[in-house]
Chain A
Amino acid sequence: MHDYYSFFTGPFAWITFLVFIFGSGWRFYSIWQLAKKKDSAVFEYMNMKFALRSIAHWIIPFGSRSMQINPAMTVVTFMFHISLFITPLFVFGHVVLWKENFNISWFTLSNTVADLMTLIVIGSCLFFLWRRIKLADVRYLTTPMDFIILFIVAAPFVTGFWVYHQFPGFAVMTIIHIISGEIMLMAIPFTKLFHMFLFPFTRGYIGSEFGGVRMAKDW
């Protein structure tokens, strides 16, 4: 058991970080190269002011009409994304690892808050799952990969919750938790999870078009 633990927190963790960083870098680079070759107009119309204006409206809850007419989705999406980023970075158990391995540390969440945020992520994933199954328009768009991604994202949080509360078999679950987190990181460059990195660019571009050429709002 200890060997597995050492492997997945040691060499495999390094592999994960490398895949995540270089995979994302490669994905950006290939898009950038293609854009430079084929979409020079995109650079021509990109406008920092209007891009930021659009991004600002879309990262503020209920900042767009689309969010206003989908209140449940808006609340869940924001709580989900915030918890998804904050929890793994600031949960005590993770910060301790950074301290032990690299002797750096930072602010930690109280256990109750971390627990709550974990439940938010899990609950949100269930909500997304419900939407995918229940809403006809979302169901029509859903592919098997969308379910897999949902599973990939939920897994580290379900297992993390399990480990923290020391439910039966939590020792094994710790290793599964580590692996599931690593899978999620590695999946980012190669799946639709990459949308987190592309958001500023797609939003920024349409914001530039609407602001600079169309002289209209895009929110």
Chain B
Amino acid sequence: MTEAKSVTETKKTEDQGILKGLEQLTPEKIESVIQQVLSDETGARLKVYVETCVHCGMCSKGCHFFLSLNDPRYSPAGKVKQTLWEIMRKKGKVSPEFIKQAATIAYTQCNMCKRCAMYCPFGLDVAYVMSVMRRICHKLGVVPLYIQDTAHSHSVTMNQMWVKDDEWIDTLMWQEEEAQDAMENLRIPLDKEGADIFYSVIGPEPKFRAQLIFQAAVIMNAAGENWTMPSMPGWDNSDMCMFTGDYEMMERLKRRHFESALNLRAKRIVMGECGHAFRSVYDVGNRALGWRMPPIEVVHAIEYYNELFENNKIKIKKKFEQPVTLHDPCNISRGRGLHEMARNIVNATCENFIEMTPNREHNYCCSAGGGVINCGPPFKNARVESGKQKAKQLFAAKAKGAEVVIAPCHNCHGGLEDIIHHYGVEMELKFFGDIIYEILELPE
């Protein structure tokens, strides 16, 4: 049994989004918003989760925050204690100071990775409880500044990164041109009707990681796919509104995305290597819109790449030589069971594969997901500290010889990059797309 230290002092929140939001709060407003959310938007599920918890602490070891920081406040149930537990006990009569702390916990100390649900004997879903807390904070206007900015971007532009309509098309054409150096007749077909594949990405791809669009275009062309990308808003499958608690906006985003694909009569949506976007399209957003499962088939890059190799649609020159390890992102492993397919791809593309432990559904989170990294610089140090357990896990894989970490998720990349840098892990970080592109044999 791990002997945790006692509770450490709470660090002061200096996030301007939270602080400014608090200035507008009165105890009456807090109470009425909480009452509204609890009575209109939650029900037996929340009640049973909070009432069934027997305070046994088995969830502690499910949480990388607790494992890294060894402080009882970071155990999943500990976070419920500091948020909904208290709110339900006091029927919403809590102070602005309480909301400040609760917002900090819900937005920055839980990655909503749902690992703890696998450690709780009752399967209580703390991520759901945290999402209720975030919903309350959103309605109170107490949201960390940086993630709220991305939510604003979503509502103005329908993408996460303030990418303007012409910039989007321009980026695609630029990447098409670049990729034509590699493959002469390569195209990124825009708005093609009836394509087999509607390819969507997250806002940060055109903004910071345009080479991923380039790589995807090369892979699609090499595989001879009938594919398309949309020229208009709806191209971004990401969703920070899902994480701020702005569900109305999340629904608009998901509807736009699905409709973009459906209007083009695409057969299915294939999306890039992103975890949270997949969660929003496959699990959360569709439900919010009333679809039990997505209205059009949604395929994550891992599933798609696996298909390419299974059907021999692409050829490789030779396998990737450096020893690799694989980080299973929560939203596509625990969220969609793609971990075995990911291993198929590793085996098809890499010479030497070293498992990190624990792995698959039990892998440790990157500490960046669930919108935590999007809360930005005010919380960066705390986030990296909560990645200590991840760093240990990476060091162990490195000791066995792994030099490259494959992480098929954007948030994981952001989080792991910081962890690798901060703890001096010195491992290289790659997407599957990077590896496939590197070893791909281009057709004549």
Q: Which residues of A contact B (CB under 8 A)?
A: 31-32, 34-35, 37-39, 41-42, 44-45, 54, 58, 64-66, 69-70, 72-73, 77, 131, 135-143, 146, 192, 194-195, 198-199, 201-203, 205-207, 209-210, 213-219
Distance between A68 CB and nearest chain B CB, rounded to angstroms: 11
Q: Which residue of A lies closest to B5 (CB)?
A: A136
Q: Which residue of A lies closest to B80 (CB)?
A: A141
Q: What 1/0 mask marks residues of chain B from 31 to 57 whose CB sits below 8 Å from any chain A CB?
A: 000000000001111011101111111
**Which B residues, 74 to 88, have Cβ-Cβ distances below 8 Å to chain A?**
75, 77-78, 81
**A41-B287 in contact (CB<8A):** yes
**Which B residues, 19 to 73, have Cβ-Cβ distances below 8 Å to chain A?**
42-45, 47-49, 51-58, 60-62, 66, 72-73
- Using Cβ atoms and an 8 Å threshold, which residues of chain B touch A34? 43-44, 47
Please report the C-alpha to C-alpha distance between residue A192 and residue B283 in the assembled complex, in whole angstroms: 31
Please report the C-alpha to C-alpha distance between residue A66 and residue B45 in the assembled complex, in whole angstroms: 23
The reply on B166 being an interface residue by CB < 8 A is no
- Chain B's interface: helix, strand, loop or mixed, by majority? loop
- Using Cβ atoms and an 8 Å threshold, which residues of chain B touch A41? 287
User: What are 7 inter-chain pairs, A to B, with CB distance below 8 A?
Assistant: A37-B43, A70-B1, A72-B1, A73-B1, A137-B75, A137-B78, A218-B123
Given A202-B124, A210-B118; 8 other pairs, CB 8 A cutoff: A54-B123, A131-B1, A137-B60, A138-B56, A198-B51, A203-B121, A210-B117, A216-B333
The reply on B399 being an interface residue by CB < 8 A is no
Please report the C-alpha to C-alpha distance between residue A136 and residue B47 in the assembled complex, in whole angstroms: 26
Distance between A207 CB and nearest chain B CB, rounded to angstroms: 7
The reply on B4 being an interface residue by CB < 8 A is yes
From A31, A35, A66, A199, give the contact of B118 (CB < 8 A).
Answer: A66
The reply on B361 being an interface residue by CB < 8 A is yes
Please report the C-alpha to C-alpha distance between residue A137 and residue B6 in the assembled complex, in whole angstroms: 8
**B123-A140 in contact (CB<8A):** no
Distance between A193 CB and nearest chain B CB, rounded to angstroms: 9
**A31-B335 in contact (CB<8A):** no
From A38, A39, A73, give the contact of B58 (CB < 8 A).
Answer: A73
Please report the C-alpha to C-alpha distance between residue A142 and residue B56 in the assembled complex, in whole angstroms: 8
- Using Cβ atoms and an 8 Å threshold, which residues of chain A touch B78? 137, 140-141
**A216-B335 in contact (CB<8A):** yes
Please report the C-alpha to C-alpha distance between residue A150 and residue B419 in the assembled complex, in whole angstroms: 42
**B55-A146 in contact (CB<8A):** yes
- Using Cβ atoms and an 8 Å threshold, which residues of chain A touch B66? 137
- Using Cβ atoms and an 8 Å threshold, which residues of chain B touch A146? 54-55
Please report the C-alpha to C-alpha distance between residue A214 and residue B114 in the assembled complex, in whole angstroms: 11
| A39-B43, A138-B57, A217-B361 given; A58·B337 CB < 8 A | no
The reply on B292 being an interface residue by CB < 8 A is yes
**A137-B72 in contact (CB<8A):** yes
Q: Which residues of B contact A (CB under 8 A)?
A: 1-7, 42-45, 47-49, 51-58, 60-62, 66, 72-73, 75, 77-78, 81, 117-125, 283, 287, 292-293, 333-337, 339, 358, 360-362
Please report the C-alpha to C-alpha distance between residue A210 and residue B55 in the assembled complex, in whole angstroms: 23
**A65-B358 in contact (CB<8A):** yes
Distance between B299 CB and nearest chain A CB, rounded to angstroms: 13
**A141-B57 in contact (CB<8A):** yes
- Using Cβ atoms and an 8 Å threshold, which residues of chain A touch B6? 136
**A139-B72 in contact (CB<8A):** yes
**B48-A201 in contact (CB<8A):** yes
| A54-B123, A201-B48 given; A38·B43 CB < 8 A | yes
Please report the C-alpha to C-alpha distance between residue A73 and residue B58 in the assembled complex, in whole angstroms: 9
From A66, A73, A77, give the contact of B62 (CB < 8 A).
Answer: A66
- Using Cβ atoms and an 8 Å threshold, which residues of chain A touch B48? 31, 198, 201-202
**A31-B61 in contact (CB<8A):** no
**A195-B55 in contact (CB<8A):** no
- Using Cβ atoms and an 8 Å threshold, which residues of chain A touch B55? 138, 141-143, 146, 192
**B334-A216 in contact (CB<8A):** yes
**B52-A198 in contact (CB<8A):** yes
- Using Cβ atoms and an 8 Å threshold, which residues of chain A touch B358? 65
- Using Cβ atoms and an 8 Å threshold, which residues of chain A touch B339? 216
- Using Cβ atoms and an 8 Å threshold, which residues of chain A touch B2? 137
Q: Which residue of B lies closest to A202 (CB)?
A: B122
Distance between A82 CB and nearest chain B CB, rounded to angstroms: 15
**A219-B118 in contact (CB<8A):** yes
Please report the C-alpha to C-alpha distance between residue A203 and residue B334 in the assembled complex, in whole angstroms: 16
Distance between A133 CB and nearest chain B CB, rounded to angstroms: 12
Distance between A145 CB and nearest chain B CB, rounded to angstroms: 9
7 residue pairs, one from A and one from B, having the closest CB atoms: A38-B43, A206-B123, A215-B337, A140-B72, A35-B44, A136-B4, A138-B57
| A66-B121, A137-B75 given; A195·B81 CB < 8 A | no
